[in-house]
Structure 1
Amino acid sequence: MPDQKAVRRVVDIITGTWQAQALYAAVAFGLADHVAAGDVTDEALAARTQASPDGIRRLMRLLTAMDVFERTPGERTGEAAGSDADGDTPGAPRSGGYRLTPAGELLRADSPQSMRDMIRIYGEEFHRAWGAVEPAVRTGTSGFQHAFGKTLHEYLRDPQAGAKFQRAMNAGNVFFPDVLDAFDFTHCRTVVDVAGGSGMLLGTVLRAHPHLRGILFDQPHMLPVARTHLDEAVGRGRYEALAGDLFEGVPPGADVYLLSRVLQDWDDPRCTALLSHIRAALPESGRLLILERVVPDDGETLLPLLYDLHLLMAAGGRERDLAGYRAVLASAGLRLESVHALSLETSLLVAAVA
């Protein structure tokens, strides 16, 4: 007889993508927004979304079991006879409704901490990229390129795709405030966020330290989103948004350079190239702050390992262990000075001139 615990473990793993896609369906249908607006029954949600009532009922039943929604008090019709262990008659309609859980709140469009854009890109582009896991692992090239016929970076040159990706990245930025506790910016004057995207990390640092001046450096098509965010976060007088290619050079002379989730996209030679440009720009007393997930030596912490393989699917990149980060830093004339744990199993690596 097979080991029942092992069988259940395999079943739980292979059905995991179904939960992810159910969460994507919740975002695609705007279910959290509709429930928040008062459409709290299966019938009302089906009418609002113009979807199958039976399909909505079954989707909501799963999402409730996943703790995205919860049931409000109510009774099923005809529960006096033939009820199940909870007093419910299987298949009968409820007179109660739904309400949002804390996880469900993160699916709302108007939530400041909304993760809906992250869920969208994981349920659409990244879901397709993972469908090419076999050729990606076989060839060592990105699943995204196999699925879309172009690299992720080429795909993101489209303004709409780039903006969608930045919104998704923003939803996963909950560890940015942790940087303020891990590194002392008191004696710094200028901070450059290299490949700074929407400017959320730079904005977080500048808001906390009014004496700082910031420079956001990224490709031209990324700057409009960054300017919009930074204008609102800190005002126009405290930052510059400069366009350029990080593989050709970075703005010189800052006290601190930020590099958040950039090295993960590139192989070692490319990482060495971009780090060498930062080393050339960095004063002897300056510091480079790297935000990445570090693969643990014991291999038991799952999230960095998941993201390591995801980076192969998405961009042909990789997460590294500490030895890997030390190696690419050393190849560019830098040394790893300290490591600080942040939220979501992310780390802040502080690098200095070797």
Structure 2
Amino acid sequence: MPTRPDSARRPALSLPRRLRRLRRTASLRALVEETVLRPADLIAPLFVIEGEGPAEEIASMPGQRRLPLADLVAECRELWALGIPAVDLFAKVPEEAKDAVGSAALGADSLIARAVRAVKAAVPELTVITDIALDPYTTHGHDGLLTADGCDVDNDRTVEQLIAMALAHARAGADMVAPSDMMDGRIGAIRAALDAEGFMQVGLLAYSAKFASGFYGPFREAVGSGKVGTVAGPADKKSYQLNPANRREAIEEALLDEAEGADILMVKPAGLYLDIIRDLRERTRLPLAAYQISGEYAQIHAAARLGWIDYATCRDESLLAIKRAGADMILTYFAKEVATAARVSDRWGLLATAGA
């Protein structure tokens, strides 16, 4: 007669709680899943260029392209059909269009203003957000105007330029403007200017805790703003972006933006600053966004190409971590493919069976 395995002869442990009971099957895991990632939680950052095409591949951001207006409109139609509720538009203008004060960012004929009109005409239901910063438009690559000696970014003159940029985008039909510059006082000043011109319904998505990260390199390639440091003097983005070592300061910045009239607060980068997302989630009732930046995106691609990680599993886990930390919405370059995957995933959803 065959003997039972040792495990069958041993008495069971006396455990009143066995948490693995609720992990046993995919359907049980779905019932107790605490954090859900949906296409409706995602915002797709898109890069816009002049001309009629073709779209330009971005070498350091696999799968991402700079889009002429016709391609941009087609992309926005696809994103809306996939359930992505919003896009954030960033410009790459020709070098000859740049100057020291970012003039190409302004006016009804600016690239982003034309892009907003085109997208809203084609997909009016899609929420269109626009980046408010001068770095893609300046010869020196800073987010603002330099002082006369080139040694610093002039905060208050920059804010005046950002106001003009925000008003141009609002007039074009933007649903929300997103100041990413980190100048002091710009949220209150832009809010007052929008309201004074009757744009009370245009929202403010504030880059409230934007850190001076080393992971922005691929984005700077994408918008052509990688020239910081070539100007004379010590001007440095660390003079306006947050010190990665500072946690309390990040919360103070965000709460100031809330007091000045921001509708949504943002932490950038996202995956590297999950503690800041959680801290801020516990301090504010405003909606909270997080930006999974270009370097975070690129490193997942790079590791997967080397065979070191499973691409889809790590992509999804990285986004789920951001949502679990407390973000209500995520700006991510993975938005389209995650939404596409959600369309063909099993009935328990995109992430419920990950790691099964």
Q: How does the TM-score come out when normalised to structure 1?
A: 0.28
Choose between structure 1 and 2 for higher RCO, CA contacts under 8 A separated by at least 6 residues.
2
Between structures 1 and 2, the one with greater helix share: 1
